[in-house]
């Protein structure tokens, strides 16, 4: 049976219970580009007990390159970057080169396009960690000083919400995933004061008001009539694509805001590389899918899987991204391996930016009318059932939607 979480859940890093996650061998990608089995390691939960009525990051991460204890300050903060010590690239995890090759993405594009990232709470070291990430992969600087990076609260102001280590990991993943695919894009990070639907929705509106050309949201909640009614207006911006992660619990109650008809619901896949086959892609084992019990079926969806709205629309990799995070991880501050449809959503947002005309993609229906730009994912599944709600297959299916982009023709 699929695992479900009570109340809010966030599609953040590997959002799975410890017992289940410990059984998963997360694939890693060597610098030579060949898939290898990562050394078994127990995942670390990022957050404490869930608070009913708010988004909760039940996220897990695995350390890739722990910082030596001699470089940890008394406050438990890694001092390598602050001391000017060059941080080497991680030995494992998906990188910019891997993503470009797997998705056949152009090396340039998106210059001046602003990607809005909406999350809850503050990551105090978001910009400095982003600097290390981009430097490690020889990407151009993206800072407040050169106006590439901007961080504001849900109202657009400078007074930031309290910091939270769990959501900080989410923020690091989001902005670094965008950087990997679209290093010429600008990043607008909007931090809600807490993960209530009202505050996250307001943050989305602020991102659009401040000039975001596309907005990525890596969180979700089980749909209910009140949340759908109250939040729908915040995720309806006809000339700005709004994206949301489909979830990390397999087939379950449809996730909001991904279930909204104006939102691109982004499911998860797993990438593998071998010398003989190159890059192959299948449905990710824990990618979210589901049938809405509330939202009417949009005209662009023709599947018979659900009587109402089906989640997801499209998909992208959700498994094993190298992320640099030095807030709240103690002696493990540094490179971590992150997984979840939290990765899929910002990656897809960055691919939209590369295509160069996000204003044309306000509706997720665009993907359904341009299937030639997507690889139809036909293998893999996200839960134990016998149809397209769980299993990838020819044509549309719920875990991977229309498919995963190949190049930017579908965008």
pLDDT tens digits for range 353-366 = 999 999 999 999 99
- Tens digit of pLDDT for each residue in 154-210? 999 999 999 998 899 999 999 999 999 999 999 999 999 999 999 999 999 999 999
Burial class of 385 by CB neighbour count within 10 A (0 to 12, 13 to 18, 19+): middle
Spatial contact of 340 and 248, defined as CB atoms under 8 Å apart: yes
Q: Considering only CA atoms, which of 409, 407, 391, 410 is closest in space to residue 399?
A: 391
Extract the tokens encoding 351. 């691919």
8-state DSSP, 251: B
Instruction: Give the helix ranges, DSSP H, for 112-242.
Output: 126-136, 165-181, 197-209, 225-231
Burial label, 369 (beta-carbon count in 10 A; 0-12, 13-18, 19+):
exposed
Cβ contacts of residue 141 below 8 Å, gap of 6+? 131, 134, 135, 148
Check whether the bond before 58 is cis (ω within 30° of 0): no
Distance in angstroms (rounded) separating the CA atoms of residues 392 and 377: 6
| Tens digits of residue pLDDT in 81-136 | 444 557 788 888 999 999 999 999 998 999 989 999 999 999 999 999 999 999 99
For the sheet with 220-222, list strands across it. Answer: 8-9, 220-222, 255-256
Contact 262, 363 (CB under 8 A): yes
Locate 374 and state its tokens: 């997507």
Percent of the chain at pLDDT > 70 equals 80
Global confidence as pTM:
0.87
Ordered by where they begin, the domains of the chain are 8-405 (3.40.50.200)
Rounded CA-CA distance 181/397 in Å is 25
E-state strands within 48-185: 60-66, 114-120, 149-153
Q: Are 29 and 35 in contact (CB under 8 A)?
A: yes
How many angstroms from the chain centroid is the CA of residue 373? 21
pLDDT tens for 5-55 read 333 444 444 433 333 333 333 333 333 344 443 444 555 655 555 555 666
Instruction: Please answer whether residues 394 and 359 qualify as being in contact, where contact means their C-beta atoms are separated by less than 8 angstroms.
Output: no
348, 11 contact by CB (below 8 A): no
């Amino acid at each position: 049976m699929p695992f479900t979480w009570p109340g809010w859940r966030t599609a953040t890093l590997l959002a799975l219970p410890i017992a289940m996650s410990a059984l998963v061998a997360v694939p890693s990608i060597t610098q030579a580009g060949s898939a290898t089995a990562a050394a078994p390691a127990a995942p670390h939960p990022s957050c404490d007990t869930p608070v009913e009525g708010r988004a909760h990051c039940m996220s897990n991460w695995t350390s890739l390159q722990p910082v030596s204890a001699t470089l940890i300050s008394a406050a438990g903060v890694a001092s390598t970057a602050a001391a000017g010590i060059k941080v080497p690239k991680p030995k494992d995890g998906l990188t910019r080169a891997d993503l470009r090759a797997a998705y056949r993405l152009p090396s340039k594009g998106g210059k001046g396009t602003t990607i809005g990232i909406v999350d809850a709470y503050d990551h105090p070291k978001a910009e400095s960690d982003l600097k290390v990430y981009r430097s490690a992969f020889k990407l151009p600087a993206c800072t407040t000083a050169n106006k590439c990076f901007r961080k504001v609260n849900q109202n657009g102001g400078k007074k930031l919400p309290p910091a939270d280590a769990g959501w900080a990991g989410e923020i690091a993943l989001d902005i670094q995933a965008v950087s990997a695919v679209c290093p010429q894009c600008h990043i607008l990070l909007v931090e809600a004061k807490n993960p209530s639907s009202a505050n996250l929705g307001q943050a989305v509106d602020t991102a659009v008001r401040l000039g975001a050309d596309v907005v990525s949201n890596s969180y979700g909640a089980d749909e209910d009539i009140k949340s759908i009614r109250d939040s729908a207006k915040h995720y309806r911006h006809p000339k700005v694509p709004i994206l949301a992660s489909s979830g990390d619990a397999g087939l379950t109650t449809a996730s909001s805001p991904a279930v909204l008809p104006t939102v691109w619901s982004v499911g998860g896949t797993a990438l593998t590389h071998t010398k003989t086959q190159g890059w192959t892609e299948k449905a990710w084992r824990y990618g979210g899918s589901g049938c809405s019990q509330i939202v009417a079926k949009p005209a662009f969806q023709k599947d018979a899987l659900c009587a109402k709205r089906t989640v997801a629309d499209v998909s992208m990799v959700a498994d094993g991204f190298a992320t640099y995070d030095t807030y709240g991880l103690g002696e493990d501050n540094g490179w971590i391996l992150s997984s979840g449809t939290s990765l899929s959503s910002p990656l897809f947002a960055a691919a939209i930016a590369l295509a160069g005309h996000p204003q044309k993609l306000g509706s997720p229906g665009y993907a359904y009318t341009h299937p030639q730009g997507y690889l139809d994912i036909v293998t893999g599944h996200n839960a134990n059932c016998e149809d397209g709600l769980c299993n990838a297959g020819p044509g549309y299916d719920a875990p991977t939607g229309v498919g995963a982009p190949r190049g930017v023709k579908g965008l």
